[in-house]
Amino acid sequence: MAMVRTKDLLENFNLTLVAGKDGIHREIITSDISRPGIEMTGYFKYYPKERLQLIGKTEMAYFLDLTFQEQKDRVEKLCTDITPGIVVTRGMDIPEVMIDAANESAVPILRSPRKTTRVISRLTNFLEARYAPFTAIHGVLVDIYGVGVLITGQSGVGKSETALELVKRGHRLVADDSVEIRQEDYDTLIGNSPPLIEHLLEIRGLGIINVMTLFGAGAVRSYKKISMIINLEIWDQKKQYDRLGLDEDTMKIMDVHVPKSTIPVRPGRNLAVIIEVAAMNFRLKRMGVNAAEEFSERLTTMIEQEKDDME
């Protein structure tokens, strides 16, 4: 699991450290962000002290209306030993009582010049990406016409060779051999390559090749949403393969069910073209055009017409 510290926010966002510099190495253990509005009234029974605290214009206006003793009491309770930091938005001036409490308890106060909603959105996206569920799968991830296609199959079935042919046809390689996958939101999987093998392809007989060096920067990309899975397997004469495409199979990766197609491999089949067409067909389905269902409807209509003619 990745670890995020308060200093990472300083390095990745337009934030200024105002107080509590001794605590910038505190760990942020959750992607949830708290706006301590009710806490400003003095109610701390359910105060989520382990979260990053964000003070906007409303919270600061209420705080400034309190007496000095009330302000001192609130900030002392806000600044606990596990609070990772307090972010103040809109570039607002920070009262001395808040700065003193933060320095004393080593809780960093970070100031942002941006609006509250924008700061919440960007910080949440950053933290959720860092703390997203993570796994790794053996396969190849290629961007084909904007569709992230994860090619899986047994070792030696031809995944990397197929990916090389797809790159030659103008598509983009994301990862070969090992695909690191993180789940964002409830139904989104983002795949990328481990840094060690980024932009590299292993071709048996040739060895390791650098796709970006050979084909240019347009032939690779760093990450891509996984939209469909193509599983390559050696042709089995005893197995009945789907010939119409009416049955939609899926593969579960973490909590997401991804559409999956199985393509049998045997000499003479151009796998790159088949996968390319599969990606285009997937795009058509998303736009509401399903060739298999149209064929099934035509067939049903024809059968019904023949029945009527016989009667």
Percentage of the chain lying above the pLDDT 90 cut: 70
pLDDT surpasses 60 at 1:
no
Residues 188 and 198: their CA atoms lie apart, in Å, by 22
Q: Which residues are annotated as a binding site for Mg(2+)?
A: 160, 202
Question: H/E element holding 34?
Answer: strand 33-34
In the structure encoding, which two tokens stand for residue 219, read together? 């032939």
Residues 64 and 151 in one domain: no
**In angstroms, rounded to a whole number, what is the distance separating the alpha carbons of residues 82 and 279?**
48
201 with 262, same domain: the answer is yes
pLDDT at 296 over 90: no
Instruction: Please report the sign of the dihedral spanned by the C-alpha atoms of residue 190, residue 84, residue 81, residue 68.
Output: negative
Q: What is the mean pLDDT of residues 290-310?
A: 77
Q: How far is CA 54 from CA 14, 25, 26, 85, 116, in A?
A: 15, 18, 16, 9, 8
Whole-number pLDDT of residue 284: 86
For residue 301, tell me if it sits in a domain: no
> Among residues 164, 167, 172, which one has the least CA distance to residue 146?
172
In a domain, 253, yes or no: yes
| Residue 302, pLDDT score | 85
The number of folded domains in the chain is 2
Task: Detail the residues annotated as belonging to a binding site for ATP.
Answer: 153-160
DSSP H helices, 40-81, are: 57-64, 68-78
Position 111 scores a pLDDT of 96
Binding positions are 153-160, 202
Q: Look up tokens 């070792």; give the residue.
A: 155
Whole-Å CA distances, 20 to 15, 104, 136, 300: 14, 8, 38, 73
104 and 219 in one domain? no
Among residues 101, 130, 159, which one ends one of the domains? 130
Q: Is residue 302 part of a domain?
A: no
- On whether both 144 and 217 belong to a single domain, the answer is yes
Q: What is the pLDDT of residue 304?
A: 80
3-state secondary structure labels for all residues of 87-122 = EECCCCCCCHHHHHHHHHHCCCEEECCCCHHHHHHH
What is the percent of the chain with per-residue pLDDT over 70, rounded to a whole number? 96
The pLDDT assigned to 269 comes to: 80
263 and 163 both lie in a single domain: yes
Same domain, 144 and 112: no
Mean pLDDT calculated for residue range 281-302: 80
Q: For 84-113, how does the pLDDT look when each residue is reduced to its tens digit (9 = 90+)?
A: 999 999 999 999 999 999 999 999 999 999
Q: What is the pLDDT of residue 243?
A: 65
Q: Is-contact 210 199, C-beta < 8 A?
A: yes
Q: Which two tokens stand for residue 226?
A: 């996984």
Determine, yes or no, domain membership for 304: no
Do 103 and 179 lie in one domain? The reply is no
Average pLDDT of the chain? 90
Catalytic machinery residues: 138, 159, 177, 243
Residues 106 and 150 in one domain: no
Dihedral over alpha carbons 220, 2, 15, 10 (to 10 degrees)? -100
Same domain, 227 and 263: yes
Question: How much is the average pLDDT of 191-216?
Answer: 93
Q: Give the domain range for residue 273.
A: 134-295
pLDDT in tens, 240-278: 766 666 667 899 999 899 999 888 888 878 899 999 998
CATH number for position 23 = 3.40.1390.20
Predicted TM-score (pTM) of the model is 0.72
Residue 38 pLDDT exceeds 70? yes
> Do 142 and 272 sit in the same domain of this protein?
yes
Average pLDDT over residues 154-168: 92
As a whole number, mean pLDDT of residues 180-193 equals 90
State whether 98 and 138 are in the same domain.
no
Is 179 in the same domain as 157? Answer: yes
Q: How far apart are CA 47 and CA 56, in angstroms?
A: 17
